[in-house]
Structure 1
Amino acid sequence: MYWGAGFASSRSFVVDLGRNQSLAVGLCGSDEHHSFYGYIVAFPLQDYGGIMSGFASDSWWRKTLYLTGGALLAAAAYLLHELLSIRKEQQMDSKDAIILHQFSRPKNGVPSLSPFCLKMETYLRMVDLPYQNYFDGSFSHRGTMPWIEYNHEQVSGMEFIIDFLEEKLGVTLNKNLTREEKALAHAITTMVEEHLYWTIAYCQWIDNIEETQCMLDMSGPLSDLLKWLFSHLTSGIVRREMYSQGIGRFSREEVYALMEKDMRALATLLGDKKYIMGPKLSSVDATVFSHLAQAMWTLPGTRPEQLIKGELINLAMYCERIRRKFWPEWFVDLDDFAFEDQSDSSCDSPAPVLDFGLFSRTDTLEESEASSPSNSTKHSPLTDHSMHSLFDSDIEVDGSDVEQKDKGQPA
């Protein structure tokens, strides 16, 4: 019996990356197995002769159309296989180990183009829990990313993952918050993840898709084509989901107006505090940082970057504060803190970076500045003309120590 295989989707796109399923596919002549994602439908060709007779009766242009369509389908199948089957299946034991499933790293140095993946990994660093990254591209059973495994138990959904870790491992960032502060933190998290997220995603995958496409890390002779395919598939999914959510029904100017209101609200809530809820970290900081980081480091020349590096500079300092403390291997160029038009930049021009490898994950800015007093008088992009560092507001000084110093100084 003859049979055929093809891609199918209940929606208006070739493949729905939001609801992928995994299927082990063995390559001919190889014992290795690879993950293949997408909907695959096998159907018997019972009336093979009838189909062929249809070909004979059709005009030449219809035959050409059939053959071209088949060739395009085969090409799409191959490209999607190369795109989504790039990770070798591995057996990972999650016994007493946190395995974090997330998207692959982009090539511009940012840990993730997904704010939710960046949030989860940043949270694990904030609570100082060891974990293993698994960039296999497989979604959870609920079709979400990221998700974790711990002792062979799978957990998905950001809030559920955090609750799970608090219950199983007894870690929390919110123990110092009052009931009112916890309620406020929950409201901020909801605003960021259910509202600001969509406007940033619009800027990333619709309005700024060429630059985002350049940041994707794919290798091989068809890497440019694969990046184009993946970015435009994602763009289509974002458009559809934004429309369903409601924000996608507004014009470009209205979407950016909503984004600006959210960012200004965050800047007002932060004020001159070290973190969103005060001098101590809380889980809301992982949320806010991971979304603002997209505006800081993945959207060159856009309105979000102009805002965060210009008028709302306290948000930029907040992001840099967290990046330095919990992402010492994440290199950035501090000269980029001032917004500049980068419309002439191309994918092939690498951005210069500064090496902050000397910062350990547990270092704070206060410790770094205290250990290098000789550097306090140097001008830098983060020092104003009064010789005060823009990070001075982070320094926690005991009031009694200040009084003793003042008393010891001659009049």
Structure 2
Amino acid sequence: MVMMNVFLHFRSCSRDYGGIMSVLGSDSWWKKTLYITGGALLAAAAYLLHELLAIRKEQELDSKDAIILHQFSRPKNGVPSLSPFCLKIETYLRMVDLPYQNYFDGKLSPQGKMPWIEYNHEQVSGSEFIVDFLEEKLGVNLNKNLTPQERAVSRAVTKMVEEHLYWTIAYCQWVDNLEETQKLLAMSGPLSDTLKWLLSHLNGSMVRREMYGHGIGRFSKEEVYALMEKDMRTLATLLGDKKYFMGSKMSTLDATVFGHLAQAMWTLPGTRPEQLIKGELINLAMFCERMRRRFWPEWFVEVEDLYYDGDSESSGGGSPTGLLDFGLFSRTDTLDDSDASSHSAGHTHTHSPDSDHSLFDSDVGTGSDNDIQLKEELMPDLEV
């Protein structure tokens, strides 16, 4: 009798245990748990972001005859943006010499895009549509001297960069080097560390999901980097020894490529893309430095950051001689007279009578006077 009771008790416990395990193993139970957890994280991130934006001083925007550029906040390391498309559009505005006002509100466009602009109370998002809009409304056009064949090549390369290379760089930033990228986010306040962790990991998850939908995210890490290297080598071959991608004159393609390659050049230290651009594909580094010097004079870069040295601990820092050996600076690569005159006339930081901001309204940190003087002493008459 006792044995029978023990047996029945064991069967009862087994049924209860099996029932519990069947519930735990249920797909619907796990899905509900994941949905609830994910929803809680999203709600917490949305609340923290709302609180961060709420404490910012409200600004009244008037886009009448003024370009308002909405984009992400500046990162900590002095690079204007961690977004290739934000950097592309702001560089483009400087290339065509159009005054604009930055607005770092973090608010996406109605289409969920960043960057986006307002002009005369019209809103435009998507970098390609922004360029088309400015060409139509303000008559600027960097591609006016290109032949129909060159325009076709420019568009094909643009699509390779924005629809293919972009995802490999995003993978390197937000998946493979997420912790390092997280450190670059500029946020303040008592919850800044928590907010940076949440936003960076949410963005990393979105990049993974969107890469999978694109198709490129279905490959291994090694395969993604192999695709990235092919794209970068293609760009290096196309550029060759030219000043800009379509020849001696600038085009919209230069703003596009610069926005993407600048991420590899200055935001991903020690990674495969940085090793490529500052080492074997040095002409791409020359191009990035040429663009930075011409259109971002307030963006200060240390000399040793312009080339890659795998043995950084024993290198003892960079030197102008080493850079010249790499061919990074060239006297034959200076601006021609017409470019130089238009550059000096169009890119002086003119101040409006009622504003202390320059036409570019940029808040990128500049080097100190001593740093600038040292840079001039190291490179007295070299222009890129």
TM-score (normalizing by structure 1): 0.68
Q: Which residue of the partner structure matches residue 330 of structure 2?
A: 391
CA distance in 2, matches of 1:270, 1:246: 28
CA distance in 1, matches of 2:41, 2:260: 37
Distance 1:128 1:252, change over 3 A: same
How far 1:78 moved relative to its partner?
4.2
Q: 2:305 aligns with which of 316, 336, 344?
A: 336
CA distance in 2, matches of 1:142, 1:342: 46
> Does residue 112 of the first structure (1) align with residue 81 of the second (2)?
yes
Amino acid at match of 1:177: L
Distance 1:179 1:72, change over 3 A: closer
> Does residue 285 of the first structure (1) align with residue 254 of the second (2)?
yes
How far 1:73 moved relative to its partner?
8.5
Helix, strand or coil: the match of 1:100? strand
> Does residue 301 of the first structure (1) align with residue 264 of the second (2)?
no
Q: May I ask how many residue pairs the two structures share in their alignment?
A: 299
Q: Is the 8 A contact 2:236 2:281 kept in 1?
A: yes
Helix, strand or coil: the match of 1:166? helix
Distance 1:176 1:89, change over 3 A: same
> Does residue 145 of the first structure (1) align with residue 84 of the second (2)?
no
Q: 2:127 aligns with which of 158, 174, 181?
A: 158
Q: Is the 8 A contact 2:264 2:277 kept in 1?
A: yes
Percent of aligned pairs with the same residue?
Answer: 75
Q: 1:91-106 alignment to 2 at 5 Å?
A: 91-106=60-75
> Does residue 253 of the first structure (1) align with residue 216 of the second (2)?
no
CA distance in 1, matches of 2:45, 2:128: 36
CA distance in 2, matches of 1:73, 1:132: 31
Q: 1:382 aligns with which of 305, 314, 323?
A: 323
CA distance in 2, matches of 1:75, 1:81: 10
How far 1:380 moved relative to its partner?
3.9
Q: Deviations over 1:59-116 (max 9, x none)?
A: xxxxxx9xx9899888556434335555444221000000000000001000000000
Q: 1:204 aligns with which of 173, 182, 185?
A: 173
Amino acid at match of 2:331: D
Q: Considering only aligned residues, what root-mean-square deviation do their CA atoms show, in Å?
A: 2.8
Amino acid at match of 1:313: I
Helix, strand or coil: the match of 2:324? coil
Q: 1:217 aligns with which of 176, 180, 186?
A: 186
Helix, strand or coil: the match of 1:143? coil
CA distance in 1, matches of 2:131, 2:120: 16
Amino acid at match of 2:83: S
Q: Which residue of the partner structure matches residue 17 of structure 2?
A: none
Q: Which runs of 4+ in 1 moved over 6 A?
A: 68-74
CA distance in 2, matches of 1:71, 1:127: 45
CA distance in 1, matches of 2:85, 2:139: 22
CA distance in 2, matches of 1:91, 1:263: 42
Unaligned runs of at least 5 residues, structure 1: 1-64, 345-352, 355-377, 399-411
Helix, strand or coil: the match of 2:118? strand
> Which of the two has greater strand per residue?
1
Amino acid at match of 1:81: H
Q: Is the 8 A contact 2:307 2:323 kept in 1?
A: no
CA distance in 2, matches of 1:171, 1:291: 23
Distance 1:270 1:82, change over 3 A: same
> Does residue 270 of the first structure (1) align with residue 270 of the second (2)?
no
Q: Is the 8 A contact 1:273 1:393 kept in 2?
A: no
CA distance in 2, matches of 1:262, 1:135: 31
Q: Which residue of the partner structure matches residue 7 of structure 2?
A: none
Q: 1:26-37 alignment to 2 at 5 Å?
A: none
Q: 2:296 aligns with which of 322, 327, 342?
A: 327
CA distance in 2, matches of 1:281, 1:397: 12
> Which of the two has greater helix per residue?
2
How far 1:181 moved relative to its partner?
0.3
Distance 1:94 1:75, change over 3 A: closer
Q: Is the 8 A contact 1:96 1:150 kept in 2?
A: yes
CA distance in 2, matches of 1:147, 1:166: 15
CA distance in 1, matches of 2:43, 2:240: 55
Distance 1:73 1:226, change over 3 A: closer
Ranked by relative contact order (alpha carbons within 8 Å, sequence separation 6 or more), the top structure is 2
Amino acid at match of 1:144: K
Q: 1:328-367 alignment to 2 at 5 Å?
A: 328-341=297-310
Q: Which residue of the partner structure matches residue 29 of structure 1?
A: none
Unaligned runs of at least 5 residues, structure 2: 1-32, 338-384
Q: Which residue of the partner structure matches residue 167 of structure 1?
A: 136
CA distance in 1, matches of 2:252, 2:309: 32
Q: Is the 8 A contact 2:45 2:199 kept in 1?
A: no
How far 1:338 moved relative to its partner?
2.7
Distance 1:324 1:157, change over 3 A: same
CA distance in 1, matches of 2:55, 2:164: 33
Distance 1:183 1:389, change over 3 A: closer
CA distance in 2, matches of 1:396, 1:163: 27
